[in-house]
Structure 1
Amino acid sequence: MIREMTQQDFVTFWPVFKEIILQQETYAYHPNMSQEEAYQIWCAQPLKAFVYVENKQVLGTYYIKANAMGPSDHICNCGYMVSPKARGKGLARKLCEHSQLQAVALGFKAMQFNSVVSSNEIAVSLWKKLGYEVIGTIPNAYRHPHLGFVDSYIMYKWLA
């Protein structure tokens, strides 16, 4: 079940969120950010945040927000996180498909991911399967803890 995220949902998901940012393999978030800072970035600042709940466990989440203001506010941006114990079960696909429906319902015409780490091959492959295109490459944009500097992709999909 996918529904809007509550503050308690975020508290429940916080250990997974913290683990993901500590790994520093996919998100350009400071690894030592506090739970409150993370809540602000993930839940308070975006338009909406959602969770995937199964058997009373929060297994994944995403946020949706405008990517820019004014004449570019028709393009949204989303971020997704999935618990390691739920990976490989199609959850990221479900979250992304849900986010696209939400985007259209909120009046957005397109979705853009600003920095998909190129070494995150599973995500890059999934986004491509869902119709996103790499429209730009930012060379050496991400300091991966094991691979050193890797590129990041700007990925985009017209939704309207």
Structure 2
Amino acid sequence: MLIREATADDWPRIWPFWHRIVAAGETYAWDPGTSEEEARVLWMNPAKRVYVVEDDSVVVASAYLTPNYGGPAARIANAGFMVDPGQGGQGYGRALAGHLLTEARAAGYRGMVFNAVVETNPAVKLWTSLGFTILGTVPDAFDHPRHGPVGLHIMYRAM
């Protein structure tokens, strides 16, 4: 497994699982109908540091790191993570999360916040195991295709 910064050439390998995850409408508060170009701008934005996980030269996961706020609050990071659903359960998400936490610390961030973690997302277990706490939950904020209205957690971890 290799974790490295993404290049523009990685987008065609990220897009298939990005699209599959967002189109499912179960874990991200992004429009399931997001076009490929809109998705590329969202994910590969130059203001973000984007990473990929490669296993046998196949991109199996991606994440970005960016400031959550600006100005005097710019030392709190935000991140987004996606693991190819066909590659789940192999430790890619945990490895990528550990890498991003290390990168965030090295970049001088004091903490990391996730603004909208769908409460039914299995990743909640991963985040809590890595020291994130749920600061609060916005009830019934997310229309889940199977569970109906569910909450969105705001999660935080100090560096």
> What SS is found at the alignment partner of 1:88?
coil
Offset from partner CA, 1:46-66 (integer Å, 9 cap, x none): 420000001110000000100
Larger deviation, residues 43-52 vs 129-138: 43-52
Where do residues 46-61 of structure 1 align in structure 2 (5 Å cutoff)?
46-61=47-62
Whole-Å separation in 2 of the counterparts to 1:47 and 1:85: 26
Larger deviation, residues 100-109 vs 73-82: 100-109
Whole-Å separation in 2 of the counterparts to 1:19 and 1:46: 24
Whole-Å separation in 2 of the counterparts to 1:47 and 1:8: 16
Whole-Å separation in 2 of the counterparts to 1:12 and 1:132: 29
Where do residues 141-156 of structure 1 align in structure 2 (5 Å cutoff)?
141-156=141-156
Whole-Å separation in 2 of the counterparts to 1:141 and 1:88: 28
* RMSD across aligned positions (CA): 1.0
- 1:131 to 2:123 alignment: no
Whole-Å separation in 2 of the counterparts to 1:85 and 1:33: 21
Larger deviation, residues 73-82 vs 4-13: 4-13
> What SS is found at the alignment partner of 1:44?
coil
Q: Which runs of 5+ in 2 are unaligned?
A: none
Matched AA of 2:135: I
Matched AA of 1:111: M
Aligned to 2:4: 3
Is contact 1:46–1:63 with CA below 8 Å preserved after alignment?
no
Percent identity of paired positions between Structure 1 and Structure 2 = 39
Whole-Å separation in 2 of the counterparts to 1:95 and 1:12: 17
Runs of 4+ residues over 6 Å off in structure 1? none
Q: TM-score by structure 1 length?
A: 0.95
Is contact 1:132–1:156 with CA below 8 Å preserved after alignment?
yes
> What SS is found at the alignment partner of 2:22?
helix
Q: Which runs of 5+ in 1 are unaligned?
A: none
Whole-Å separation in 1 of the counterparts to 2:47 and 2:60: 20
